[in-house]
Amino acid sequence: MEITEGVVLGETEVPYDMESATIEAWLDEHPTFTNDYFIRKASRSLIDTWLIAHSISQPPNVAGSLTMGFGSSSGILTSGSGNIGSTATVIRTWAPADQLSTGTSSKGSCTSGSTTPVRKISAQEFERGGLVRPMVTTIDGTPTFLTPPSTTDSFGLTSRKSREELQSLDEKELLFELAKDICDDLETRTLAHKILQHVGVLTSADRASLFLVQGKKGTSTHCLVSALFDVSSQSTLADMETKEEIRVPWGSGIVGFVAESGETLNIPDAYQDDRFNQEIDARTGYRTKSLLCMAIKGKRGDVLGVAQVINKRDGPCFTLKDERVFSNYLQFCGIGLGNANLYQHSRLEVKRTQVLLDLARMIFEEQSTIEHMVCRILTHTLSLMQCQRAQVLLVHEASKGTFSRVFDLESKDLTETDSDSRSSPFEGRFPINIGITGYVATTGEMLNITNVYEDSRFDPQVDENSEFHHRDTLCMPIRNTECQVIGVIQLINKLDKLPFSASDESFVEAFTIFCGMGIHNTRMYEKAITAMAKQRVTLEVLSYHATAPAEEAECLRTSTIPSSQHFRLHSFDFDDDQMSDEDTYKACLRMFLDLDLVKRFQIEYDVLCRWLLSVKKNYRKVIYHNWRHAFNVAQMMFAILTKTKWWQVLGDMECLGLLIACLCHDLDHRGTNNSFQIKASSALAQLYSTSTMERHHFDQCLMILNTQGNQILSHLSPDEYSRVLKILEDAILATDLAVYFRNRGAFMELIDAKSYNWTKDEHRDLLRGMLMTVCDLSAITKPWDVERRVAELVASEFFEQGDIEREELNITPIDMMNREKKDQLPTMQVAFIDSICEPVYDVFAKLSPKLRPLLDGVRTNRKHWQSIITTQANGESH
């Protein structure tokens, strides 16, 4: 026995049999399983359909609904069919931009809404039309501007007569009945179906077709599109849905000729007319004999479409009477189609406004980061505009012709498994059409290019060595509230292989207004967060550090500076263990003097002394990354430059930058690494997203260099100053091992292939970066007693960080930071030598035989550590 009851979802009734009813009863009895199954298995389209089916109107007692907090955005953009793509398909048929907006956009104008005029209409005016609430709320509490689909939009309220009843009427009564039948139908497809069936009755035709005008006149998109094709007396509207759309170029064929000329064509034998396209008959299997084709005109005489009837049923061809009756009836049809178009345009304008409001709500819902903001923009742009690729290019604030960041998404990215959880777009994946995007960024003009290869601004090289092929593009400027161009949005290749229409231009232009405000607000938010983080860091630093007193600097200035031989500064096995802090200051001064940097750059000697003391004062009293470590790094740099005579290769300016970088590369180190800063969400981690500590060290270096009485670079020219700061920044950032690993491969390839050329800037940049690593890790090359002492200092500092992580962050530290695994120090040192140290010292030994002692020292120390490991293993075995 079957159960005939069903459940209605939207407009579809799903019949239930006994098995289905049993399953539903079981699901009702097991709500936990049902909930879990739905969460794991439900698709987005299913959730969208559910949300729309259960949407409810906003309660009348809720005030200020437009300013309430918003919830999840899932399902918001779904149109009546539950598919966001259908909205984009409808949008394609909007009226041109000049019909939808009273204003026009030009190079010198701005439509950002920053100068909104006073409204000329009151809210009471809308009450007369009985308009629905602008916002509805789905059952889960998500507000949306998109109204749920209506099931009451039916306009064909008159009772229709049968074909036999119509044929029994005289001509005037027949025209009256047919005109009455179409006068209250505002749905274009049902109206077109009625028209074609009516003209079949009027002219006794076997088949009828209707083509509507689409696209802007004078453009390549101007054509005729089959609203309905080959309608017979028995055809239903559902039958017509299965037929594919036919497009006829303007002026082409019989239909195109009639549309262009406005003339009526009555052809007794279609195959005798050269304009007739016989391919349609070959495709459908239907043979066309006689044909009557006539234009449908609007009130102003403009052609709205073309109707044609085929094969006279009761005669060899259509008569003059058929032409007259056909013409009289099409006058009514022109009025009906015009009204239907106006109605469709008004509905689409309402839908357009709702979509834009929803997009604006989602853009302004969360403005935490520029990546999150642009991801939302690109995701919804791709879905609505139905294109293959979308890019947002942010204009460089200093140079308006270039872009600081380029974000992109492709349509296939939206179908990947992680698309729902993605919070940022991809960045810099594809080449930039700099000719097109640069033009839009600098001029502020919109570009809609049908064939990019015919435009001189397009660079074909962006498609070379790529499976992606540019076809057409729509490029629009993004402006902030001050009408300044802050970015460019570029859409590439419509999925339906049609060019971007005027409707697309109008929609994207309106959308970019919200995008501009969103991006501008997000930038302001990021700047505010950065400023707050900088303020906290600055206050933290200033509370701990101070500039060295002038009296101490004067004392150092008047001191005698021993020679470099006295301090053994040229030696690779240098050890500062027996030196006082005052000796280290004097040794640093000796390095500057011996490299002739004081004389070459006119550094005031008393300023250099005070700067050195200030640098030392800005090192915290941590176990290892303190002033003594920085001093040893600088000594190794001095020894390498003088032993190899690379100071001649690099030149005075780079030697100055490297020596300053060595002394400053760990300024204000807190005894914790970059990973710790991120785990602890420190102010430094908020301020610098990559190379956190290294960027802080560089900023501290700049702060001291710019402090009164410490300006050792004050006599450099502007170009020299900029160059030294760039060398300084690159050198300090190079001490981040992540940067070392990124550059090591390229440097080793240069050396192994002997393809280096030190006159090339990129090769010199690599050399300086690798030199900083060699000097920073140089303790590993020292005599065994020095190396072991330093290794224990480093381990102690690491263990302190591990203790903090365990006690304050409640996380288990990694082995290297874990005090409980201190016995594994020899094993970790061997791994450190093998993976990081030996490769870089090996390549420098190849570069200069004078650096061979460094490699030998590394290998000797490795043997010592390995010996300890062996001893430990033997002890455990006994």
Torsion, Cα 756 758 764 769, to 10 degrees, reads: 60
Distance CA 308, CA 280 (A): 14
Specify the length of the chain in residues: 878
Annotate 684-725 with three-state secondary structure: HHHHCCCCHHHHHHHHHHHHHHCCCCCCCCCCCCHHHHHHHH
Distance CA 11, CA 22 (A): 24
- The H-assigned helical ranges of 264-396 are 279-284, 320-365, 370-385
C-beta of residue 156 within 8 angstroms of C-beta of residue 185: yes
- Angstrom CA distances, 367 to 68, 112, 242, stand at 16, 19, 45
Residues 6+ apart with CB under 8 A from 859: 838
C-beta of residue 107 within 8 angstroms of C-beta of residue 445: yes
Long-range CB contacts (within 8 A, 24+) of 8-12: 9/49, 9/53, 10/49, 10/52, 10/53, 10/82, 10/149, 11/151
CA 211 to chain centre: 41
Distance CA 351, CA 223 (A): 25
C-beta of residue 351 within 8 angstroms of C-beta of residue 384: no
Distance CA 17, CA 6 (A): 9
Q: Which amino acid is at 363?
A: I
Degrees, nearest 5: CA angle 527-530-534: 135
Longest dimension (CA), the chain: 126
Residue of 568, 631, 592 lying closest to 778 (CA atoms): 631
Degrees, nearest 5: CA angle 535-536-541: 95
- Angstrom CA distances, 465 to 114, 431, 469, 473, 687, stand at 44, 11, 10, 20, 39
Distance CA 103, CA 874 (A): 88
- Angstrom CA distances, 444 to 104, 105, 394, 509, 784, stand at 14, 10, 13, 12, 66
Which residues are part of the catalytic machinery?
625
Structure tokens at 840: 């870089």
Residue of 436, 360, 341, 399 lying closest to 93 (CA atoms): 341
Sign of CA dihedral 170, 176, 181, 186: positive
Distance CA 732, CA 657 (A): 10
